[in-house]
């Protein structure tokens, strides 16, 4: 089969390696690998299977529909979801043995109604807002939520198995919000125990907290980005600093090569004008595939083992690179980013070039991009 013009190649052996490495870092806490948003652009099902096989105790997703998709694909292990608007209807989720999160008394009522419809108790995690001010139960509502959960547990409608929260500034390990949130979390846990509940799964840490803040590990860590081999704290170190291996390589093939004189405007708006005669290569991937327009004139790619600057505005289907003195021909491989082990740019380089975070660089990949897998037991 001929090579696709543009593809994301996901190394499942890297996912397996990262899973084992993160379990080692988290021990004695259990490891949840977060596979929401199509596995951060890596493919939810393949990542889920690989992470399970490599020893991830738990999988986590944001949406109930993502959790149901995992079940439909045959996943049967511990699985938590945490985000839904009112009116969701929890019966299918409870029936599928998926752990659910309540962030308010109203949401808890909806979950309990779903459990009543299925005739089995919902496995419930209570979420407290300790300072992110996004989701989670506001502290003033917490006693009411905890008391309602205790009552529903006594009635056999729910089983409170977890209490959790989410950190706002874990990627800045010295930020005072981290200590403040852990303190608020401990106070919330006191209230849970005072209500006679003793859930076995207390969890708080995301990737940056897992890597930098052992006090946050508790019973279970929820790791997304680091499982894909990306660093959530690039200021502290690249993935390799933490023993992680980037799993995703984004590559394409040059669609065309042309020679132009000095003084030629390139791509929409002529935001780049050649300063000398140049060989320009055309890369058939653009913002339709999730390449950031904000990376225009700032990112680099690797062609023939050499770094080449991206020039002119990134378009919907394509962008242009300056091939310099290289001998590249149409059809030659262009590596947009990869692990960085062979001189190629990294996803973090594209994040820096585009003025965004590496989470967005990989998660937004899609459109017409082909995805293929290497490694693992496919």
Ligand X SMILES: *Cc1c(COP(=O)(O)O)cnc(C)c1O
* Contact positions vs ligand X (CB under 6 A): 34, 36, 62, 82, 166, 206-207, 222-225, 232
Kindly tell me which of 19 and 318 has the beta carbon lying closer to ligand X: 19
Q: In the bound complex, what is the minimum distance in angstroms from residue 209's beta carbon to ligand X?
A: 8
SS (H, E, C) 68-130: HHHHHCCCCCCEECCCCCCCCCCHHHHHCCCEEEECCHHHHHHHHHHHHHHCCCEEEEEEECC
Any idea what DSSP says for residue 277? -
Nearest residue to ligand X, using CB? 224
Does residue 42 sit in helix, strand or coil? coil
Q: In the bound complex, what is the minimum distance in angstroms from residue 228's beta carbon to ligand X?
A: 8
Kindly tell me which of 232 and 312 has the beta carbon lying closer to ligand X: 232
Kindly tell me which of 166 and 313 has the beta carbon lying closer to ligand X: 166
Kindly tell me which of 131 and 286 has the beta carbon lying closer to ligand X: 131
Candidate list 36, 90, 228, 373, residue with the active-site label: 36
* Contacting residues for 254 by C-beta, under 8 A, at least 6 apart: 281, 282, 283, 303, 328, 329, 330, 331, 332, 334
The alpha carbon torsion through 355, 359, 362, 366 (nearest 10 deg) reads -90
Q: In the bound complex, what is the minimum distance in angstroms from residue 340's beta carbon to ligand X?
A: 19
Candidate list 40, 90, 268, 287, residue with the active-site label: 268
b/e 325-347 (16+ beta carbons within 10 angstroms → b) = ebebeeebebbbbbbbeeebbbb
Q: Number of helices (H) and strands (E), helices first, in the chain? A: 11, 19
CA distances to 14, 192, 333, 372, 378 from 375, in Å: 8, 44, 21, 10, 7
* Residue 268 bears catalytic tag: yes
* Residue 36 bears catalytic tag: yes
Active site residues: 36, 268
């Amino acid at each position: 089969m001929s090579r696709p013009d543009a593809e994301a190649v996901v190394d499942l052996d890297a996912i397996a390696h990262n899973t084992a490495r993160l379990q080692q870092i988290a021990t004695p806490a259990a490891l949840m690998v977060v596979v929401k948003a199509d596995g951060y652009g890596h493919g939810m099902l393949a990542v889920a299977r690989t992470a399970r096989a490599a020893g991830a105790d738990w999988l986590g997703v944001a949406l109930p529909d993502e959790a149901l998709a995992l079940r439909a694909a045959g996943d049967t292990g511990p699985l938590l979801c945490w985000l839904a608007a009112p009116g969701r209807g929890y019966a299918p989720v409870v029936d599928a043995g998926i752990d659910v999160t309540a962030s308010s008394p109203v949401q808890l009522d909806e979950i309990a109604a779903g459990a009543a419809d299925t005739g089995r108790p919902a496995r419930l995690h209570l979420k407290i807002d300790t300072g992110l001010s996004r989701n989670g139960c506001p502290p003033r509502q917490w006693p009411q939520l905890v008391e309602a959960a205790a009552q529903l547990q006594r009635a056999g409608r729910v089983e409170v198995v977890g209490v959790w929260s989410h950190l706002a500034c874990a990627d800045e390990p010295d930020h005072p919000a981290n200590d403040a949130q852990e303190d608020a979390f401990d106070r919330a846990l006191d209230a849970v125990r005072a209500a006679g509940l003793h859930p076995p799964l207390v969890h708080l840490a995301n990737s940056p907290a897992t890597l930098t803040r052992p006090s946050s590990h508790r019973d279970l860590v929820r790791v997304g980005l680091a499982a894909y081999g990306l660093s959530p704290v690039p200021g502290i170190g690249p993935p390799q600093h933490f023993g992680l291996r980037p799993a995703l390589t984004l590559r394409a093939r040059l669609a065309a090569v042309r020679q132009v004189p000095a003084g030629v405007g390139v791509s929409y708006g002529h935001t780049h004008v050649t300063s000398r005669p140049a060989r320009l290569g055309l890369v058939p991937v653009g913002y339709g595939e999730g390449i950031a327009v904000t990376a225009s004139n700032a990112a680099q790619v690797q062609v023939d083992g050499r770094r080449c600057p991206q020039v002119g505005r990134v378009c919907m289907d394509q962008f242009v690179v300056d091939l310099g003195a290289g001998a590249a021909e149409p059809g030659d491989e262009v590596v947009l980013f990869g692990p960085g082990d062979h001189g190629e740019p990294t996803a973090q380089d594209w994040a820096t070039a585009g003025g965004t975070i590496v989470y967005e660089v990989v998660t937004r990949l899609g459109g017409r991009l082909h995805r293929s897998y290497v490694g693992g037991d496919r």
